[in-house]
């Protein structure tokens, strides 16, 4: 049954509060092109109320003052409550952005795992960190990790729950309170998260939820009551936020765009690569920041790689995102569909050869924001389709001469987020991976490890998420020097 989600409120100070704003944003199902919901766009009065509620909760000590171990116990209940709502969460995400249910159906469980991981780092936050003065017997420094305060978490539309949780969980265990602003395309799924938080006993004011577009987000970033900003989204938007935070001397974490490379070494199995190409290079209909959307193949097997990748991508199921067999759903919006189609036209105009896909609706589909999954061959790395982030189901296959040439091409990008190396010799592949200018690289697959830092180099961002390292973004270090 089609969801209906027409709302006029925000979650502020532990309750749903009617919006002061009279501006609203429609929610469109990208598979049906039907409006199924509406949410308010926060104005200054709404933002002031949410930041004030978060600030009051922080200063009261109801969260920051109970210690990380007590916060962890509530976070574990939060995880259980969130996981129990997995079906509702998956259906909502798929209705919002068209993510295939096979992906979105696991979002709640995955995010619950993030909460549990950070709950397990309570001792790290509250550790007894006593450091002696070198050369000064009897003197020492007690080092404390103290929460920063009210944090603004801004999430994108492609993984609307997970990319909130990788910010929310470390902020919570650190003792911060938060204001969350989801993307305007995906504002409803976090109401399920709020329901789980309330059921778990997260104190009022610790988590606040506002909806709205760029204007609302800009007001939030610059609000004087915000102590730290965490943003995931485009590099262009990230630059704007970075500039605003720089003027305010406000800490900011930015997880931005990517144009990662997947290098197939000459000894790799092309068939094995084909088995993971959709997950590694086109996950979530190509709408994943770390996707390896540039495939680099040695000239000796270039034709085989192009033919195998094109056959795999071209035969992958596309259609109704609520069908468990679907791998490629629609683009998340009409705007995104138009962007991807424009890039396909650009690739053709640049002289790239369409090995599969191209313009027009996929066969059997007459509505929805769909794009044919497309593989471009005979691509030079200087082409726009090889340099610019498309964020859709489009791959380019680029030939290289030798290992040095492959590394040069991979690094010839403004981005530095992910990447992958395929080889029958993992040790050799790791040596190549160490030469790639990106924050993370996978060997014969790509996957983010929650226990290891994730972040971009170059224009792909600032700071790290995941791992214990992420907690550092939400705490301030204090050194107290003592004798005795």
Condensed to tens digits (0 to 9), the pLDDT of residues 54-95 reads 999 999 999 999 999 999 999 999 999 999 999 999 999 999
Residue 289 catalytic?
Answer: yes
Q: How far apart are CA 106 and CA 89, in angstroms?
A: 9
The DSSP secondary-structure symbol of 463 reads S
The DSSP secondary-structure symbol of 471 reads G
CA angle 154, 160, 162 (to 5 degrees): 95
Half-sphere exposure in the Cβ direction for 80 (13 Å, CA): 9
DSSP string, 152-211: EEE--SSSTTHHHHHHHHHHHHHT-EEEEE--TTS-SHHHHHHHHHHHHTPPTTSEEE--
Rounded to two decimals, what is the model's pTM? 0.96
Q: How far apart are CA 405 and CA 399, in angstroms?
A: 9
Name the β-bridge partners of 356. Answer: 375
User: Residue 284 has which token pair?
Assistant: 């979530």
Give the helix/strand (H/E) hosting 29.
strand 24-29
* Catalytic one of 176, 289, 389, 465: 289
DSSP string, 394-431: EEEEEEESSHHHHHHHHH-SSEES--EEE-S-HHHHHH
User: Residue 192 has which token pair?
Assistant: 């399920």
Q: Is 117 helix (H, G, I), strand (E, B) or coil?
A: helix
Model pLDDT for residues 243-299, shown as the tens digit of each residue: 999 999 999 999 999 999 999 999 999 999 999 999 999 999 999 999 999 999 999
Q: How far apart are CA 306 and CA 379, in angstroms?
A: 11
Half-sphere exposure in the Cβ direction for 130 (13 Å, CA): 7
Nearest to 92 by CA among 108, 113, 111: 108
Residue with token string 């490890």? 449
pLDDT of residue 2: 64
Cβ-contact 111, 161 below 8 angstroms: yes
List the 461-462 sheet strands across, edge first. Answer: 15-18, 9-12, 207-209, 177-181, 150-154, 228-232, 252-255, 461-462
* Catalytic one of 255, 281, 389, 465: 255
Residue 255 catalytic?
Answer: yes
Burial of 370 (0-12, 13-18, 19+ CB in 10 A): buried
Residue with token string 């765009």? 257
The DSSP secondary-structure symbol of 473 reads G
Going along the chain from its start, the domains and CATH numbers come out as: 5-256+460-483 (3.40.605.10), 261-449 (3.40.309.10)
Q: How far apart are CA 159 and CA 217, in angstroms?
A: 18
CA angle 94, 98, 101 (to 5 degrees): 45
List the 24-29 sheet strands across, edge first. Answer: 5-6, 34-40, 24-29
Which residue stretches of the chain have pLDDT < 70?
1-2
Q: How far apart are CA 272 and CA 283, in angstroms?
A: 17
Q: How far apart are CA 153 and CA 230, in angstroms?
A: 5
Q: How far apart are CA 270 and CA 383, in angstroms?
A: 25
Cβ-contact 394, 286 below 8 angstroms: yes
pLDDT of residue 1: 46
Other CB atoms within 10 A of residue 348 CB: 16
Other CB atoms within 10 A of residue 470 CB: 27
Cβ contacts of 375 within 8 Å, gap of 6 or more: 306, 309, 310, 313, 314, 354, 355, 356, 357, 394, 395, 396, 397
Give the helix/strand (H/E) hosting 138.
none
Cβ contacts of 67 within 8 Å, gap of 6 or more: 122, 126
Residues in the chain: 484
- Strand 139-147, strand 129-132: pairing: antiparallel
pLDDT of residue 251: 97
Q: Is 291 helix (H, G, I), strand (E, B) or coil?
A: coil
């Amino acid at each position: 049954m089609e969801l209906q989600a027409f709302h006029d409120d925000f979650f502020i100070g532990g309750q749903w509060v009617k919006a002061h704003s009279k501006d609203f944003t429609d929610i469109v199902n990208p598979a049906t092109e039907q409006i199924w919901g509406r949410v308010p766009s926060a104005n200054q009065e709404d933002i002031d109320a949410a930041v004030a509620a978060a600030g009051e909760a922080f200063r009261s000590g109801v969260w920051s003052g109970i210690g990380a171990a007590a916060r962890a116990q509530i976070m574990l209940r939060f995880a259980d409550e969130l996981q129990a709502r997995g079906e509702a969460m998956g259906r909502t995400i798929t209705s919002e952005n068209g993510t295939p249910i096979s992906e979105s159906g696991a979002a709640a469980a995955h995010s619950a795992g993030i909460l549990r991981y950070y709950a397990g780092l309570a001792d790290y936050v509250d550790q007894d960190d006593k450091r002696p003065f070198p050369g000064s017997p009897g003197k020492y420094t007690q080092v404390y990790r103290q929460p920063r305060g009210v944090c603004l978490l801004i999430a994108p539309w492609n993984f609307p729950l997970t990319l909130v949780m990788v910010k929310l969980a470390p902020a919570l265990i650190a003792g911060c309170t938060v204001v969350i602003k989801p993307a305007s395309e995906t504002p409803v799924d976090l109401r399920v998260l709020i329901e789980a938080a309330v059921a778990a006993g997260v104190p009022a004011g610790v988590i606040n939820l506002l909806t709205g577009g760029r204007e609302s987000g800009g007001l939030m970033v610059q609000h004087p009551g915000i102590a730290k900003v965490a943003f995931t989204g485009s590099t262009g938007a990230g630059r704007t936020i970075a500039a605003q935070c720089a003027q305010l001397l406000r800490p900011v974490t930015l997880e931005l765009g990517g144009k990662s490379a997947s290098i197939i070494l000459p000894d790799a199995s092309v068939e094995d690569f084909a088995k993971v190409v959709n997950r590694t290079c086109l996950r979530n209909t190509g709408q994943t920041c770390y996707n390896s959307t540039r495939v680099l193949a040695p000239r000796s097997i270039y034709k085989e790689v192009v033919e195998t990748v094109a056959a795999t991508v071209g035969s992958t199921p596309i259609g109704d995102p609520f069908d468990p067999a679907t791998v490629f759903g629609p683009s998340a919006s009409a705007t995104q569909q138009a962007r991807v189609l424009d890039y396909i036209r650009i690739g053709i105009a640049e002289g790239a050869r369409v090995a599969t896909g191209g313009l027009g609706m996929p066969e059997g589909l007459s509505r929805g924001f769909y794009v044919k999954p497309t593989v471009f061959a005979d691509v030079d790395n200087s082409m726009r389709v090889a340099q610019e982030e498309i964020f859709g189901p489009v791959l380019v296959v680029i030939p290289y001469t030798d290992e040095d040439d492959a590394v040069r091409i991979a690094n010839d990008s403004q981005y530095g987020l992910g990447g992958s190396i395929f080889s029958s010799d993992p040790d050799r592949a790791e040596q190549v991976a160490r030469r790639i200018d990106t924050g993370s690289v996978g060997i014969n697959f790509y996957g983010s490890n929650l226990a290891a830092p994730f972040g971009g180099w170059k224009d792909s961002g600032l700071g790290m998420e995941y791992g214990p390292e992420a907690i550092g973004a939400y705490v301030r270090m204090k050194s107290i020097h003592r004798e005795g």
